[in-house]
Structure 1
């Protein structure tokens, strides 16, 4: 068995030559002509019919022009509507601002009247009580924050910084350039820890029930707004200034002065006067409705006393 002639004429004799056959290379043809022949035919037909191309170009221009006209009309209508409603919005805003200022003036007048009535009540009470009892009551009021006090102390002044420039890369600033309610909380707490006997923020006396909170960007002291610059006044011993300078609040505020530009000042003041806080609204416990004896198994029910006992439980819980 002999092998057949190889492809391409290898092993053929000189008198029996055949033409060499080359098979098509698919990958080479794909890279040489990447587009389908149908696309080339469509492009050729488009080049051979210039009238249809001009018609399509004209229709596209007409559609674009109509779209531009429609958008311009919509913008014009929106601008006219905005300009027409601006006087009404400005008037409503001015009315709200006037109402707010009126309510603030009324609130300030009522607060001043309450202070005068409180002073009248205090004078009449002192006249009705003996000297020792009135003196003891005034000391208790001063300690709880309900009485006006006078003495030497310090004033801590906090003020917002100018608006910080945003970083060009990250888009964020170096920190909040305004005084936060937490800053006032830290300063007040560290003044108490330094030995303060009475503390007030912008004239608002702090008591054991006082709160320092925020509502949006506003700072509330006992639910009354205070605005910067903030002055935290404290009456206490002579060592209070030095102890407060070594506190954590003072250290953090000095760091904020260097980082974001907040204003932080502490000064000694002689003869400082702090007003009294408003009378708190006291809540008293009231006994609940006694359940029926049949519901002795329900939580909170009382077991009926045996008849003839006549004994009442003592307040101090005697008998244990």
Structure 2
């Protein structure tokens, strides 16, 4: 037998099953078995045993750590107290500034109304002097031109299209809302364009007369007509032919708003009105003007009977 060969007596445990002289083979447990048997890392147990042996820490390290933590808490509380005092102290100043701004806005609005009334009175005085110094036909022609351009008050039969916001869609969880049911500036543009196309001679939105240079636009949450803010419900009053209501109800604009009413609950109503009175617009600021190359055609009978200018 060579050295490379080994007999049964040299192999551990080879002397038979459970022999008294045989050494049993040891198997190491697998990772999962050891993990479930000892889930806590041995280092934690060693640290706990060391703390039990050493007792509570009373040295400078333990005391300094507690002192640092306490100092930090005191400083944080002090900073919170200063921030709160400053916020409370600045609140009256903010309230006073807001009140002053609101008062200034109201003052400017009142001043604007006074100036508008003064301008209307002066315009009426100028018209009276003009009529007194011009021939009757010339003065009547000027009044007709002013009525057509929106610079004179007009009266006649027509329709009123009323639109208003629907109920706001509020999320029950977040509390936020969607403005899909809100009347937009382009909605009023659509209504006025449709009425112009159907033969309207004069249009006003919430008392603001429209001219060839009028603008309907949004500024934040507000809608401006010639830079005048208006609020809902919005009434678009138009003077025109006797069948203007029927024409508009058959238009694409009315069908669109009918769909918005069904989907989002917006309010939409078209009604006939007799003897509507629309105010005059402010003076139009024209940068360029050219005479018409062809004399304008005489007004149609419908236009003559539907509206009549009134001098101011």
1:193 paired with 2:187, answer no
- What TM-score does the superposition give when structure 1 sets the normalisation length? 0.73
Aligned residues, how many? 284
How far apart are the structure 2 equivalents of 1:107 and 1:136? Answer: 31
* Alpha carbons 1:174, 1:259 under 8 Å: kept: no
Question: After the TM superposition, which residues 81-92 of structure 1 pair with which residues of structure 2 at under 5 Å, given as runs?
Answer: 81-92=86-97
* Alpha carbons 2:216, 2:225 under 8 Å: kept: yes
1:204 paired with 2:214, answer no
How far apart are the structure 1 equivalents of 2:139 and 2:14? Answer: 133
Deviation larger for 216-225 or 60-69: 60-69
Deviation larger for 230-239 or 72-81: 72-81
1:284: how far off?
4.4
Q: What does residue 139 of structure 2 align with? A: 134
- 3-state SS of paired residue (1:81): helix
1:198: how far off?
0.8
- 3-state SS of paired residue (1:51): coil
Q: Give 1:152's match in structure 2, choosing from 157, 165, 169.
A: 157
Q: Cα 1:93–1:45, aligned 2, differ >3 Å: closer, same or farther?
A: same
How far apart are the structure 2 equivalents of 1:116 and 1:82? Answer: 51
Deviation larger for 47-56 or 192-201: 47-56
Q: Cα 1:170–1:23, aligned 2, differ >3 Å: closer, same or farther?
A: same
* Alpha carbons 1:146, 1:279 under 8 Å: kept: yes
1:233: how far off?
0.8
Structure 1 residues not aligned, in runs of 5+: 286-320
* Alpha carbons 2:151, 2:283 under 8 Å: kept: yes
1:49 paired with 2:80, answer no
1:105: how far off?
1.0
Q: Give 2:24's match in structure 1, choosing from 20, 24, 36.
A: 20
- 3-state SS of paired residue (2:57): helix
How far apart are the structure 2 equivalents of 1:142 and 1:71? Answer: 72
Q: Give 2:109's match in structure 1, choosing from 104, 112, 123.
A: 104
- 3-state SS of paired residue (1:279): coil
- 3-state SS of paired residue (1:232): strand
* Alpha carbons 1:144, 1:207 under 8 Å: kept: yes
Q: Cα 1:201–1:133, aligned 2, differ >3 Å: closer, same or farther?
A: same
1:180 paired with 2:184, answer yes
Q: Give 1:274's match in structure 2, choosing from 272, 278, 288.
A: 278
Q: What does residue 306 of structure 1 align with? A: none
- 3-state SS of paired residue (1:52): coil
How far apart are the structure 1 equivalents of 2:219 and 2:21? Answer: 102
Q: Give 1:75's match in structure 2, choosing from 77, 80, 87.
A: 80
Q: Give 2:217's match in structure 1, choosing from 206, 210, 213.
A: 213
Deviation larger for 121-130 or 204-213: 121-130
Q: Cα 1:173–1:98, aligned 2, differ >3 Å: closer, same or farther?
A: closer
CA-atom RMSD, angstroms?
A: 3.6
1:143 paired with 2:148, answer yes
1:37: how far off?
4.1
Higher RCO, 1 or 2 (CA under 8 Å, sep at least 6)?
2
